[in-house]
Amino acid sequence: MKGLFFAGNGRYEVKETKMPELKSEEDVLIRVEAAAICGTDIHILEVPPGHPAAEGAILGHEFSGQIEKAGSKVADVKPGDRVVVDPSLFCGKCYYCRHGQPNMCMHNTCLGVFLDGGFAQYCVAPQSCLYKVSPDTPAETAVHLDPAGCVLTSLGKLNPQVGENALILGAGPVGLYFIMMLKRMGMGKIIVSEPSSYRRQYAYKFGADLAIDPSSEPLEQILKEHTVDGADFSVDTVGTLINDAVSYTRKGGRILLFGMNSNAWQTICQNTITRKDLTIMGNYASRFKFDDTLRILEKGLLPVEDMVTHRVSLEEFQSGIDALKSGRAIKVLVDPWK
């Protein structure tokens, strides 16, 4: 089969490799139908890397497919079933797993980052990370489960209230998931800050009330015109904009830090946070929200199919990365059979 392997130091290679074998009686072999490029994949391939990964691993942690083979102890799914994968694997035994925080598992690993993932024609995964997909749900819909599930988890922390004004910093795929979901939760206004005109168009398409170019428009002044004293809550989907969030969120408001980049360091005036009585929270991965997210996707409540702007083969992978980095793409799908 073909796979896309992380080769270290910002490099990858597409090559032929042996078909993967089941390593456990609870493993399944999945024929990958669709995979998506995530911002994490971009960070993995940066120099220096903005996210760690195992050299030699097949990348791709957002993917769905059909089960080809199942181990003898696999009980919940069978060959022929279509599934989508939660790429995070938890031990279930450590302090955090036993206290309802498996996303903080002390022995956590991840398919497509540290273990072979979905940028290949086949992948082996344990049954514990599989979610069965209805026969009439397209693979290109199911593939959104991981990022949309992480957003849904974070909204549970943020606890948006009907009528509140939201500021979304960044209108990449994650920002658009937030816009879609918040629109259906009855926000007062959804205001988006995004320098790419291409992505601002998508922000409007998915429900933003205002989409502002922060490089040429006075975001602070515009917020004052449309809110009482700033956003009720702000979401940094980029991973570098905490200072913007602190500046543009009203006194007593909330800030959610969602985006990640381990190369990004910020200088923060802690006094501002204290003086404004702000609540700041982070969110890493999903926590018990994939079942709910899959139901939302299967019912067509989120127009995620309209996010797909590019479809590439494994050999065309770089063109997808370049389109995302230039801001001229939203969601790029990888077809390993193309």
Classify residue 180 as exposed, middle or buried by CB count within 10 Å of its CB (0-12, 13-18, 19+): buried
Mean pLDDT of 264-279: 96
pTM summary value: 0.96
**Residue 156: pLDDT above 90?**
yes
The model's pLDDT over 159-172, given as tens digits with 9 standing for 90+, comes to: 999 999 999 999 99
Residues with Cβ within 8 Å of 7's Cβ and at least 6 positions away in sequence, in order, are 13, 55, 56
The radius of gyration computed from the CA coordinates of the chain, to the nearest angstrom, equals 20
The model's pLDDT over 224-249, given as tens digits with 9 standing for 90+, comes to: 999 999 999 999 999 999 999 999 99
- pLDDT for res 47: 95
Q: What percent of the chain has pLDDT over 70?
A: 100
Q: How confident is the model at residue 298 (pLDDT cuts 50, 70, 90)?
A: very high
Q: Which amino acid is at 217?
A: E
Q: How confident is the model at residue 52 (pLDDT cuts 50, 70, 90)?
A: very high
Mean pLDDT of 139-153: 97
Distance CA 172, CA 237 (A): 8
**Residue 263: pLDDT above 90?**
no
Which tokens in the block code for residue 185? 């939760």
- pLDDT for res 131: 98
**Residue 262: pLDDT above 90?**
no
C-alpha distances (whole Å) from 267 to each of 41, 220, 279, 288 are 26, 20, 18, 34
The tokens 């450590």 sit on which residue?
94
All structural domains of the chain, each given as residue ranges with its CATH number in brackets, are: 2-144+302-335 (3.90.180.10), 149-282 (3.40.50.720)
Distance CA 185, CA 189 (A): 11
The tokens 């896309």 sit on which residue?
4
